[in-house]
Structure 1
Amino acid sequence: MRSRCLVVSFASPRTRTPSFAIALLSLALAVAHGPRALAEGPFTLTSTSLRDGGTVDAAQVFDQDDCKGSNRSPQLSWHDAPQGTRSFAVTIFDPDAPGPGWWHWAVAQIPANIDRLPENASASGYVKKIGAVEGRNDFDIDGYGGPCPPAGKAHRYVVTVYALNTTDLRLAQGRPALMFDHEIGTATLGSARIVVNYGR
C-alpha cells in the first residue's frame, strides 16, 4: 500500500501556539496510521441468485410436499472482510416462521481464502470439498433447505455471512443449525446480510 506524506507548514515563532502544534501533531499521527482503515470498505454480501429486498426464485425454493422448487442453495459473494478474519460462516433464517423462527441453512469453517459460494454449493458437494461443514436445518436435513412457508403472508429470509476469528468452531457435520448459530456468535468479527422474501 502506498504511504502518505504529510507536509506541514508552521507559523512563525511569534504566532505559533501550543494548541496549534498539538492539533498538527494529531493530524500527522492520524495520516500516518490511517491508510489501512481508509482503504477498507464495508463488509458486504451480494448474490446473483438473490436480490436484497426481492423475491426468491423457484430455483431456491424447497422441493418437498407442496413446495415445488429446485432447492438450490444461492450463489453468494462477500467483500472487504474485517482484518483478522480466519474463516467464514453462512446462515439463512426465517424470522417470520411460527415459534422461534426456522433455520434453512448453516455453514461453518469456510476457509478465509474463499470469498464466494457457487449456486447449489450444498447439494453439489462443493461445501464439503472446501472443508466446510453444514448444520442440520429445521426440515431435519443436513445442508440447504429452501423457503417453503405456509400459504398466506410472505416471509422474510435473512441471509448472513459472518467473518470469524477462528478456523475451527468444533462443529461436526449435521449438528443442529441452532448450535451452529450459537458457536458462530462466539467468534464473529463482523457480518453482512441481505433479506429476501417468499410467500405462497
Structure 2
Amino acid sequence: MPRRLAIALTLAAGLAAGEAQAGMWLSSPDLAADGTLAAPQAWDRDGCGGKNLSPALRWGGEAPTAKSFALIVMDADVKKGFRHWMVFNIPVGVHSLPAGAGAADGKGLPQGAVQALNDFGPKGYGGPCPPAGQTHRYVFTIYALNKDTLDLSPDQPAGALESLVLSHALDKGRFIAKSPRFDTPPDKAKPPEEKPSAKPDAAKPEPKAAPTPKAEPVPKVEAVPTVKAVKEPPQ
C-alpha cells in the first residue's frame, strides 16, 4: 500500500473515532466502533423511534487564548445543512457534556451555557431522523472562541448564531457520526384515537293505543206512513 494512502486512512480512522492527531479534538464515548449513533440518540417524533438523548461529549487541545466554547451539530447530507444542536457560552473550564445534556430544560448543561433553537423548531438537541432507507452523516463541532459570552438571544435564527460563532472562532475540533433511520416499532406506534361510539337511545316504551270509543246505539227512527195521493173529482 502506498505510504500516502496509508497515512490518509490512518487520519480518517482517527476522525471517525472522534480523536484528532493534534490540536483541538472532540470525541464521544457513545459512538459505536464504526462511528454510528445508537437508537437512543435518534429523534423521538415524526415516525422516528429514538429517545432524543444527546450523546456524551468530551474535548480538549484548545488554543490557550480561548475564552469560551460553542457546539454545533449539523446534518451534512441535507442541502444547506440542518442544525440539530447549538450550544454557546460554554465556560472555558468545561471540557465535557454528559449524555442527555441537550434536554430542552437545559438542566444538564454547565452554568451559563445556552441552547439555541434547532432546525426542528424547539430548543436543545434534536436527534437524527433521516428519510426512510437513508443513512446520514452528522458533523459534531466544538469551537474555541475569543469571547467569554456571545451577546445573542437563543431565540435568534440558527443561521445568525452560527455566523457569530464562526466570526469569533479561534480553533475547532470535530468528528463525523452516522445514523440510519430508527423507525418507531409498530407495536409502540400510537394507535389512532377511537371516537366514542354514540350510545343507542334507551328503548322507549311503545305508546299505548288509544281506547276504541264505544259505538253509541243508533236511535230507532219510526217509519213515516206513506201518504197516498187523492184524486179530486172532476167539476
Range with bigger deviation, 105-114 or 51-60: 51-60
Using the alignment, how far apart are the partners of 1:174 and 1:46 within structure 2? 28
1:160 corresponds to which residue?
141
Q: Distance in 2 between matches of 1:46 and 1:53?
A: 13
Residue equivalent to 1:199? 180
Pairing 1:106–2:86 present: yes
2:108 equivalent to 1:142: no
TM-score by length of 2: 0.64
* Native 8 Å contact 1:133 1:172 kept in 2: no
Aligned to 2:98: 118
Provide the alpha-carbon RMSD of the alignment. 1.5
What stretches of structure 1 of length at least 5 have no aligned partner? 1-40
Unaligned 5+ residue runs, structure 2? 1-21, 182-235
Q: Distance in 2 between matches of 1:95 and 1:153?
A: 13
Q: SS at the partner of 1:181?
A: helix
Specify which of 47, 70, 74 is matched with residue 51 of structure 2: 70
Partner of 1:180: 161
- Measure the CA separation in 1 of the matches of 2:31 and 2:71: 15
Task: Name the structure with the higher helix share.
Answer: 1
Q: Which amino acid aligns with 2:108?
A: Y
**Runs of at least 4 residues off by over 4 Å:** none
Task: Answer whether contact 2:73 2:140 (CA < 8 A) is retained.
Answer: yes
Q: What is the rounded CA distance, in whole Å, between the counterparts of 1:174 and 1:146 in structure 2?
A: 19
Equivalent pairs: percent with the same residue? 40
TM-score by length of 1: 0.75
Matched residues in 1 for 2:180 and 2:91: separation?
34
Q: Which residue of 2 aligns with 1:6?
A: none
Distance across 1 between alignment mates of 2:155 and 2:41: 21
**8 Å CA contact 1:137, 1:145 repeated in 2:** yes
Amino acid across the alignment from 2:84? H
